[in-house]
Structure 1
Amino acid sequence: MKALVDLRNAVISNPLRRLAKPITFELNPGEHIALVGLNGSGKSTMIGMLTGAFYLREGSLECNFKTDSYKAYKIVNFNGAYSTTEFPYYYQQRWHSFERENSVTVASLLDKEMAVSEKWRSELYELLDIGRLLQKEIITLSSGELRRYHIAKALLSAPELLILECPFIGLDPPTRKMLNEIMILVSEKLKICFVLTMTEIDDLPEVITHVYFLKEGACSEKYSREQALALPKPSVENSDISDLSFLKKEAKHYNLVVQMRNVTVAYESKVLFDKMNWTVKDGQAWNITGPNGSGKSTLLSLICADNPKAYSLDLTLFDVKRGSGESIWEIKKHIGYLSNELHSSFRDNLPIIDIVSSGMTEGYISQTTPNQARDRAILLLHAFQAAHLKDRLYMSLSSGEQRLVLLARSFAKNPDLLILDEPFQGLDAVNRAKARSIIETFFSLGGRTLLFVTHFPEELPSIIDYTLNLRG
């Protein structure tokens, strides 16, 4: 029986995607493969090679699908957790409802997709709990809801091969379990083969039968699931404490960093917050948690001055009540921020040193000179052990590397309030440990407040001392 996808001794002609040695990969009918490697190891390059996105200077690619290749496989990439290609997307668009008069719904988009049968469409919607999303506007979906939409869209036509980049990105634990079960069901019922990319093998889905490991542009031999799980796991040592002394400053003290009084927010008849009262004081570190769609990102958009609903609410930020004449930039100059929406909309194809230094002056006139901003960017990149990326263009990085760079950028203005919305999405264990250490060290400098969103307690920095649990 011929392999479904057979890549032999392949070398590409892209100078930004260098390989340590020629790549060989084989996917046979009935197999499901995980590509496992750290950030920047070559997983995205490998996917591009398998789908014909790169010209092969050496070697060969043979696909033996039953239908035309472009119909036979579908890809749900990393950014499928953050955005959709159906229409242009810009940062803050999700919160500006007055610009969404002609925005399309989930139902209108999915109705355009061919399904193998209407029975399968109904069954798939039920499996992925899509029914309650159908009448929602696509740009109002949370990252987890958007991920489910993309997976449903890809599965409707029952492709012979479905490629999922970082399949669990943006999904809460119940939805992760749901996706695991769906992959098993469709592999058996529809004979769909899966290729997944992952940063570590610990969460290997049950459907996976074989594993390739990638490291620094080199691909391992093919391992069976049992062989891969039996290999010694690399240890993740405690990261050395990063030197952040360059971020020391005279602390500004606020009585109220955030205060919400009787705040009610609703979208499309769904009430997210009903007479909510919440106070964040100077120096506190909060974990904000809750299932997909519970309103975590909406809450943060009010604080970051991204959501126009804030003007009608009883909301105080940095001891100043909203609507009292302050500009949004007077608020933003205090805040360092990373979120899925920011990652999705960030498309400035500049050198990484410029990307990080731009976080120092974003949105307001700073006394900082360009050289001072670049000097701080270099120090931050060294702290995140990413200085080797400083001259690379942003769009040439892997999605995980982009996430790390944007995380470094959130520290650039030495903020009084650091807001991190699922900051570790797409980061491997090494980079998560390093980032957690940096957050803890930054907080120990004093005069900082932290709001941290995650679905997973093991990701929390040790300095967290308060929790806000949203239920939507």
Structure 2
Amino acid sequence: MSDFTMQQINHLWNIKLSKAPERQPLIAGLLDKRYIENLQWLDGKKVEILSPKTILRFIDEELIHDNDAILKQSGQFLHSMSSGERKQAFLQYTLSLKPEVLVLDHLLDNLDMAARERITNQLEAQSKNFSIINIYSRDDDHLGFLKDSFLYENGAISKKEKQTQRSNTTKNEHPLPPPLHAVSEHDNPLVAFNQVSVSYLDKCILSNISWVINKGQFWHLYGPNGSGKTTLLTMITGDNPKAYGQDIKLFGKQKGTGETIWEIKQKVGYFTTNMTFQFKRRQTVRDMIISGFFDSVGLYHIASDQQIKLANAWLDFIGLAHLNEKPFIDLSMCHQRMIMIARAMVKHPPLLILDEASVDLDDESAAQMTDLINRIAHEGETTIIYVSHRLEPGLTPTNSFELIPGEEGSTGLMREI
């Protein structure tokens, strides 16, 4: 047994992943209690894991088995919260279970700066009560109060520190693929909110929001957890009934003048990180992209020769043509997300919404994602809304919209960048 595994009563570890794909076998092993050599001290301990997968499992328990533990704790179901709010609520629930070991899988992703500081201080104050393992991919997500830092690489944990290195990406010369059919023109602006307010019960979420989104713009939407970003997006995608009766124009039409939710969704490409967990069948990478033509979770139609040709062109564009016959579920997280963005873009929607596209990725993978998003923005005509708490280095939005919380709900501030 290594000399650093049994030295202290409470293990306080940072474990940096060498690359984001290393996360899958490590977390799977922890969930299934298949501990690698230097984590065998976990055996027999009460281990609680906070990860995207454990959060989704709990949401299933809420929806299928009426588990109301978090509702009783916070007054709200987990599935009705934003990604950042979910993580904070699930952390408090996990702590209430009194673990002997708390495993944090990319805890600080999805969290605004105030939440990161508050949670870090709470964990530091309680760290004498249990062991903590913080698994992370971005250098900024290292927890400074944890005593020991390790690297997870090729299935093993070592004390060796490794400096993050970003590889020089080879310029992709393949052009943005054309649409399958001519893209219909839409009136400018694509989206116009005029003094829009949204309340739930007695709580005001959005207050007098005015936001105009024009063709070809590249927006960065940001604000702290709970500021109403998700609510605002659902007003655009047609999923929120609160949009009716408001002064909102979507793609040239006043909201509530006869358009259907499906007509709106035909004009919006949407990606959020939770979408990748919905695809569990062993569809090939190419079939996943083709399914974007049919808006289906998986491919259940016979693709035309032109659809196959365009799917191949998208694989060339994102640099993943060599993976075309691989099962989607076997890909790295970064490659899955690149495929999902291509899937959202195959019909060249007027508007593309990317919700936390770089969350949980390592620095190199995030740079790869940034390059892809910039290319779509610069080479195409699709308007982009990029939602995040941090603006990735190198990302080049043209405008920003900030949600600023207040006692009467969040107000909005538009800026040109």
TM-score, normalising length: structure 1: 0.73
Provide Cα deviations, 1:268-305, integer angstroms capped at 9, x if missing partner: 32112223222112222221111101111111111112
Could you tell me how far 1:409 is from its partner in structure 2? 2.3
Of 95, 106, 112, which residue of structure 2 is paired with 1:166? Answer: 106
Aligned twin of 1:17: none
What letter is aligned with 1:144? G
| Percent identity between the two aligned chains | 24
Could you tell me how far 1:262 is from its partner in structure 2? 2.8
> SS at the partner of 1:457?
coil
Aligned twin of 1:243: 174
Gap change, CA 1:80 and 1:53, over 3 Å in 2: closer
> SS at the partner of 2:221?
strand
> SS at the partner of 2:256?
coil
Which sections of structure 2, spanning at least 5 residues, go unmatched?
Answer: 411-417
Aligned twin of 1:443: 377
Aligned twin of 1:272: 205
After TM superposition, the structure 1 = structure 2 runs for residues 84-163 of structure 1, keeping only pairs within 5 Å, are: 84-85=58-59, 87=61, 104=68, 106-108=70-72, 110=73, 134-163=74-103
Could you tell me how far 1:107 is from its partner in structure 2? 4.4
What letter is aligned with 1:233? T
Provide Cα deviations, 1:123-171, integer angstroms capped at 9, x if missing partner: xxxxxxxxxxx22333321111110111112112331211111111211
> SS at the partner of 2:123?
helix
Gap change, CA 1:462 and 1:263, over 3 Å in 2: same
Alignment check: 8 A CA contact 2:165 2:364 kept: no
Provide Cα deviations, 1:359-402, integer angstroms capped at 9, x if missing partner: 22217xxx994443344333334433444554444444555554
> SS at the partner of 2:360?
coil
Matched, 1:193 2:131: yes
CA distance in 2, matches of 1:85, 1:380: 33
Aligned twin of 2:29: 49
Gap change, CA 1:255 and 1:317, over 3 Å in 2: same
Aligned twin of 1:332: 265
Gap change, CA 1:338 and 1:204, over 3 Å in 2: same
CA distance in 2, matches of 1:321, 1:426: 37
Which sections of structure 1, spanning at least 5 residues, go unmatched?
Answer: 7-23, 91-101, 111-133
Aligned twin of 1:126: none
> SS at the partner of 2:177?
helix
Aligned twin of 1:38: 19
Aligned twin of 2:158: 222
Alignment check: 8 A CA contact 2:70 2:90 kept: no
Aligned twin of 1:419: 353
Provide Cα deviations, 1:202-250, integer angstroms capped at 9, x if missing partner: 43111333344344xx145521xxx52xx44313435624633313766
What letter is aligned with 1:313? Q
After TM superposition, the structure 1 = structure 2 runs for residues 22-33 of structure 1, keeping only pairs within 5 Å, are: 26=5, 29-33=9-13
Could you tell me how far 1:258 is from its partner in structure 2? 0.3
Alignment check: 8 A CA contact 1:304 1:335 kept: yes
Gap change, CA 1:368 and 1:326, over 3 Å in 2: farther
Alignment check: 8 A CA contact 1:163 1:194 kept: yes
Gap change, CA 1:240 and 1:187, over 3 Å in 2: same
Alignment check: 8 A CA contact 1:36 1:201 kept: no
| Cα RMSD, aligned residues only | 3.5
Of 176, 185, 201, which residue of structure 2 is paired with 1:252? Answer: 185
Alignment check: 8 A CA contact 2:50 2:94 kept: yes
Matched, 1:77 2:58: no
CA distance in 2, matches of 1:348, 1:307: 30
Of 189, 214, 228, which residue of structure 2 is paired with 1:281? Answer: 214
Could you tell me how far 1:467 is from its partner in structure 2? 2.8
**Count of aligned residue pairs for this structure pair:** 398
Gap change, CA 1:344 and 1:259, over 3 Å in 2: farther
CA distance in 2, matches of 1:183, 1:458: 27
Aligned twin of 1:313: 246
Could you tell me how far 1:344 is from its partner in structure 2? 5.6
Alignment check: 8 A CA contact 1:251 1:446 kept: no
Aligned twin of 1:128: none
Aligned twin of 1:119: none
Gap change, CA 1:278 and 1:297, over 3 Å in 2: same
Provide Cα deviations, 1:37-64, integer angstroms capped at 9, x if missing partner: 22223x22123334545599xx898446
Provide Cα deviations, 1:171-214, integer angstroms capped at 9, x if missing partner: 111111222222322222x0x11223222444311133334434
What letter is aligned with 2:28? G
